[in-house]
Structure 1
Amino acid sequence: MVVLRVIDGDTIEVRGDGHIVPKGTVARVRLLEIDTPERGACFADAATARTTELLPPGSSARIQRDAELTDRYDRYLLYIWNEQGTFVNESLVSSGHAEAVLFPPNDKYWPVISQSEDTARQAVAGLWAACPETTEPSVPDMPARPDLPDGPPAGVPDVDCSDLPGPVWVGPEDPHRLDQDGDGIGCDTN
């Protein structure tokens, strides 16, 4: 498989080699068991830059699937190793460029990846140092926006704004961290 471009820290575009992604097919890949900050959020640019260092456009990569091959957005859900043999999903977590996130039934490397997050948190590495955890202010009686489609529910593989056609209503709950300005509307800022 050949890396064509890095979309963000946890999503890339590839050309398949016929092993898992059909030969010649251009497809989006969502890296399994990790989540990087969304565009515009704290540490998003650093996460995207690190993914680009690990998977530069034009490089080859080895991939592995888990129980589910694609998500509802037709992205391939994969584990990926770069030309140097680095397990990219785990590397992004261990350096603090991503969080470990489990979306069952895809859990093949969960013990390794979750341990890497524990280590990165303890070392206050990457986003754990750059992005202080803040508690979201409660938004009393936030009115719904019937003119916007509902955002993706919690429990589905992580979704980025690049996966959606435009702004979505996320309300006070925002399981995919799509709302950068706290107004209840995801993907409405650049």
Structure 2
Amino acid sequence: MSASPFVLPPAPETLEVTRERVRLRPFEERDLDAMATYRGDADVCRYLPFQPQTPDDIRHRNGHLMGGTSLEGERGGVMLVIERVDDGAVIGDLVLFHLDAEAGSAEVGWVVSPAASGQGLATEAVRALIDTAFEVYGLRRLVAQIDADNLRSTALAERLGMRREAHFVEKEWFKGRWSDLLVYAVLDHEWAAARRSAS
């Protein structure tokens, strides 16, 4: 089998992405209390692979990603907080991880505060993350794995134009029930074409 033609470009030394209403940047120690406000909410965590979290829980689980901009390495990944531009409030966080360097593929994920829901901020933030994954990190494919009962997240993936590629029925025992898993994906050229047609 021949080697993959994909070559991962170097990671940026610094990363900040600003859109009209949101700013993305690597998460830092100072963000832990704000993140625990929404990550500590049982409703927010209902479909996520962790229980409600304290600042110490977040530090223990995600501290290795603090301030990082590289996808590579055994525990590589980039975790970004979502700041609201008008007041600097941290209203969610995003992750780009599970890099398959040979395939130029990675996974995206998001956690957003209920206080920011219904305003289009999550859509703006995840769209900025996808732009960054393709334009800054040079990836060619992104996937999102979502619990089928997580209707807000599936609606967000579909609003962004991600394609539903798989529906795994009763894939795993998760938080007291057999859960279905949906896999969404988008390719770099699909994303670019959609952005061109929208402009």
Give the TM-score, by structure 1 length. Answer: 0.29
TM-score (norm 2): 0.29
- Which one has the bigger strand percentage? 2
